[in-house]
Chain A
């Protein structure tokens, strides 16, 4: 293991690799080291559910080919989780205790799944009458272990660490890494699973649902909000997708969550919903969200809220330390605030800008906005900006909608003070990016409102000066 490097990058995904690439464009010589806690040379995180479903084999998950590292003269340190950062000494410490000094550091370690504290009860083994429920404590678990003649015991402060407990129960998974997906895939294949439950009806939950449905596994989706994908979908878009999911024989429980999990021989057997309904379960996936992975940054002086605070140069509060991607709070152009917008395109953009600034160039991050593209059961949906909010927006709000119920085609555009602030397209998503461009460039759309959700809405309707700006810069004369 090396002890000193020029550019140290924590994270081997979208932001980290984008930064490495842009550093190398400016600085051909100095050393770049990427540290990854994982064991794969790289893979695209959004594709892990495609791997789960079998749509892509493992060899198709990478987004930069193997030559990327050698061509750019980048040293990749796998299985090297950074557990501590010293911003004064300019060094990091990895899980195996190695200290590595750096000149410039980029923190691009992404997010960590949120594991909620759920009460876990042990069901007595068969033979006794009824079910004797015990609340899980370290003691009862040890008892359970003895009964199973299993040498492994639950370690640590169990009740303080629900994550640790949940992770040691057979049949409970989270799904944010390729290792997670591989473990889940093995479990599904080895246990003849025909139904699964997913806690969380957000993006990860639904992508997981889609993969499982492709494997012929029915799903129960449990979502705490009043609809699935409540962050980016409005009622209509949610209804279209919910209906499609239910057509497969699966179920969607909204305004609900899991209150208790029941285990027997360390394996999940069922859980209880908030309503009191008990659902048998041999596979539970926890997908309630992801938090920026900032644990190793405590007491470093780096300014944190629920993410790393960065400026327009993507520098943190400490000199020579930058951050990019899902781990940061960066400028959101729609709310005018710092926000954690954990999406791929912004991770790449931020990585690129951070890399330029780290290697002596100059670039500024002008901000971004939330957007997402997801296809569920063959219905593509793109949501951009403040697309889910309806009632609680201030200003002069106008909403335009077009809904073809039979074709599952839905299009909605939200306009505030003559500027688009959000859009949803379902079914027919083509040309969605025109709306994203109008939002980003804050274009006055007061003259074209009437056509804005029409199926043939296009560049030709746009205000002439914007059209010119759009096209002249990159080669169109209007």
Chain B
């Protein structure tokens, strides 16, 4: 499967990946509307970590033996056997946070806006290239 690769040394910590991720997962899909009307309910599924001048962006690794899928008590978290993408069905998720307990990357967040559900990278389902990768100005994220 295609993956998002992280180039730590190219990341400048601009956080554009987070912004485009939020817009992509907003209701309006429009940057101005999303940031004016939908905050704080839209959560970025990519996370920029930064200490001093070191930074990188990290999102779900879509692990081959995904511990979040193993830990899910509701059947919401599944790995597509064909594409390898790990997806959380937010309608089925009950918000027990078992996935957060086991994800060694710490890239699953709590979405408390509507019904409590785990929120994570879906590799921008429907897009050819995930928006975090597409909008990274320095190629610190790559998709191949």
Contacts and interface: CB of A to CB of B under 8 A. Distances in A.
A348 B66 CA distance: 12
A229 B31 CA distance: 45
A372 B56 CA distance: 30
Interface size on A, as a range, is: 35 or more
Contacts of B71: 344-345, 348
A434 B6 contact: no
B75 A459 contact: no
B118 to A, nearest CB: 11
A437 B106 CA distance: 10
A374 B102 CA distance: 13
A384 interface: yes
Contacts of B51: 460-461
B96 A373 contact: yes
Contact of A44 (B63, B75, B101, B102): B75
Contact of A433 (B54, B62, B106): B106
B103 A433 contact: yes
A336 to B, nearest CB: 21
Interface stretch (A106-114, A402-410, A468-476): A468-476
Interface string A416-456: 00000000000001111110110010000000000000000
A431 B106 contact: yes
B73 to A, nearest CB: 5
Contacts of A437: 104-105
A300 B58 CA distance: 51
A349 interface: yes
Nearest to B55: A460
B48 to A, nearest CB: 10
Contacts of A348: 70-71
B133 interface: no
A436 B96 contact: no
B104 A345 contact: no
A372 B98 CA distance: 7
Nearest to B58: A459
A432 B75 contact: no
B29 interface: no
Contact of B8 (A50, A371, A372, A477): A477
Contact of B3 (A65, A433, A475): A475
Contacts of A477: 5-8
Contacts of A311: none
Given A429-B97, A476-B61, A478-B6, A63 B74 contact: yes
Interface in A371-405: 371-375, 380, 382, 384
Given A345-B102, A459-B58, A460-B50, A56 B75 contact: no
A478 B11 CA distance: 11
Given A349-B70, A373-B96, A460-B50, A470 B75 contact: no
A349 B72 CA distance: 12
